[in-house]
Structure 1
Amino acid sequence: MRALKNPFRARGRLLPAPVAPGSPVAEARGLRVRLGQRPVLDSIDLTARAGEVLALVGPNGAGKSTLLAALAADLPAEHGEVRIDGCPVTDWSAAELALRRAVLPQSAALSFPFPVADVVRMGRAPWAGTERADEDDPAVASAMAATEVTEFAERPFSALSGGERARVALARVLAQRAGLLLLDEPTAALDLRHQELVLRICRERAAAGDAVVVVLHDLGLAAAYADRAAVLHDGRIAVAGPPAGVFTGELLGAVYRQPIEVFPHPRTGAPLVVPTRGS
């Protein structure tokens, strides 16, 4: 009798199954990470859930990028555990991880002058040989349209400005169509309009059921677009929760060592975060 085919397995890879809204997609429990001889993260407990945008904020050196890399399984834990899709990250092969999480690093560099369209298409590599490989063309086209890079699809990546490269790199991540997006400072090189564009994309992906974890320096963007924010301080999470509840002048002033005022936006009610200036 012929064995039934597993619809979630292809070429030895276990494909992702649908995830219910609100379900944990990535989890860190008791996480401690050391870089060389320096402890960078300690006692981290954090969950990213399907359907939400989780912002990681905090001053330089607080551990935001290290935490993102640990969630991506790009950095090993000295202690504790990271789970993706319900399993320890060490249980997944590299190919299976690539089906479940897409990572946008702080900077994107390529040694060869690939055309923009080819760079975006690299995001589809994990799906080669699966039943979802036929989504390659629409996934690439949709990602390029969302990030507004279609008009220079044939230009070499190396000829782009910093902001254009950042948007192409984001398009590659979107084309991957993983259920967990890990974005490290995706707005750093962008103008005001494209900062808003990127955060709207984050909200759209969360609305579609993805879990989005994004490192941000702009507390205003985090307050406006994130469902939850984790404020990191000296390698630990000082507080985590909805921005309206955790963004207080007292807390942020202590974490950033800068007097800060927080008041509600007159129309939306979202927290506005500004440094205290003058008398």
Structure 2
Amino acid sequence: MGMIGTVSRRIFGVRDRVLPGPVAPGDVLAEAADLRVRLGGAEVLKGVDVRARAGEVLALVGPNGAGKSTLLAALAADLPADGGTVTVCGRPAPDWPARELALRRAVLPQSATLSFPFPVEDVVRMGRAPWAGTRREDCDDRIVREAMAATEVGAFAARPFSALSGGERARVALARVLAQRTPLLLLDEPTAALDLRHQELVLRVCRQRAAAGDAVVVVLHDLGLAAAYADRAVVLDGGLVAADGAPGDVFEDKLLSDVYRQPIEVFPHPRTGAPLIAPLRDAR
């Protein structure tokens, strides 16, 4: 079984658990209703309504401090609500036991750190820990290989995680999330440490998971990536939802200029028609 399998059994147990059932396109897999969250005495989210649906990539965008990561953590049931409600797969977030929740949602934090120099393949295999002792454990090897191939980390599978570059670590962390094989994926700035090619790779993976029926919620700073790959975008500003809809509908000059406190122009791509977003700069 190996060390990771042994550890996962100790953490999650070997008792039979209720495995996630099938989901249909459009099913709401995570929802915040009038969500309010306070951190350090400040109200970070001030009554937010958001739904993440199966088969959809939902981008959370907005300036620094808008509440994007806080909202993602609340949808993951990692951060308690001070008001309003959060549901995951139709059940109030606080009611999920950790071992059951881990079968239904996978979370990619902003930074990936490990205290021990695990090989890359073992790090990815950690994503299979929630399935230890279930009938789906037999698929572990195949799923780990597929996750590593999707993120292009197989070439350094034997290298210690601690020896990788920041971008390589980010892709390994994403592979771990993919290996978890949950219907809800919550990704916090997965492209922040990546070069142009791998930014595109990660967003293509997001689209592929949505096409396969998952709900994907991704925090992005790059509005161009959100416009190109997201089915829907929620624009946050000061802990409130400033807009919610298809990027082509909500990415509009005045709204974005107001939210980012920076003149922004939006124009259609000459070939695809997708919105292109750029700061408005003085001509030189």
RMSD between superposed Cα atoms in Å: 0.8
Indicate conservation of the 8 Å contact 2:46/2:239, yes or no.
yes
Using the TM superposition, give the Cα deviation of residue 11 of structure 1 relative to its aligned residue in structure 2, in angstroms: 2.2
Select the residue among 120, 124, 128 that pairs with 2:128: 124
Cα displacement string for residues 235-269 of structure 1 (whole angstroms, at most 9, x for unaligned residues): 01111000000000100000000000000001111
Measured in 2, the distance between the counterparts of 1:231 and 1:22 equals 21
Select the residue among 243, 248, 258 that pairs with 1:244: 248
1:112 aligns with 2:116: yes
Measured in 2, the distance between the counterparts of 1:164 and 1:133 equals 27
Query: Residue 79 of structure 1 aligns with which residue?
Result: 83
Measured in 2, the distance between the counterparts of 1:135 and 1:40 equals 41
Using the TM superposition, give the Cα deviation of residue 135 of structure 1 relative to its aligned residue in structure 2, in angstroms: 1.2
Q: Aligned to 1:13, what secondary structure does the other structure show?
A: coil
Select the residue among 102, 108, 112 that pairs with 2:106: 102
Q: Which amino acid aligns with 1:124?
A: R
Indicate conservation of the 8 Å contact 2:16/2:133, yes or no.
no
Measured in 2, the distance between the counterparts of 1:271 and 1:36 equals 37
1:277 aligns with 2:275: no
Using the TM superposition, give the Cα deviation of residue 12 of structure 1 relative to its aligned residue in structure 2, in angstroms: 4.8
Size of the alignment, in residue pairs? Answer: 270
Query: Residue 169 of structure 2 aligns with which residue?
Result: 165
> Map of 1:37-56 to 2, 5 A cutoff?
37-56=41-60
Query: Residue 153 of structure 1 aligns with which residue?
Result: 157
Select the residue among 194, 199, 206 that pairs with 1:195: 199
Q: Which amino acid aligns with 2:178?
A: L
1:181 aligns with 2:182: no
Measured in 1, the distance between the counterparts of 2:202 and 2:147 equals 12
Using the TM superposition, give the Cα deviation of residue 13 of structure 1 relative to its aligned residue in structure 2, in angstroms: 2.5
1:221 aligns with 2:225: yes
Q: Which amino acid aligns with 2:155?
A: E
Measured in 2, the distance between the counterparts of 1:12 and 1:139 equals 21
Unaligned 5+ residue runs, structure 2?
1-13
TM-score of the superposition, structure 2-length normalised?
0.94
Q: Which amino acid aligns with 1:19?
A: V
Unaligned 5+ residue runs, structure 1?
1-9
Measured in 1, the distance between the counterparts of 2:132 and 2:44 equals 36
Using the TM superposition, give the Cα deviation of residue 15 of structure 1 relative to its aligned residue in structure 2, in angstroms: 1.2
Q: Which amino acid aligns with 2:281?
A: R
Q: Which amino acid aligns with 2:50?
A: L
Q: Which amino acid aligns with 1:196?
A: E
Q: Percent identity?
A: 76
Q: Which amino acid aligns with 2:243?
A: V
Measured in 1, the distance between the counterparts of 2:16 and 2:149 equals 33
Query: Residue 263 of structure 2 aligns with which residue?
Result: 259
Indicate conservation of the 8 Å contact 2:16/2:134, yes or no.
no
Indicate conservation of the 8 Å contact 2:104/2:182, yes or no.
yes
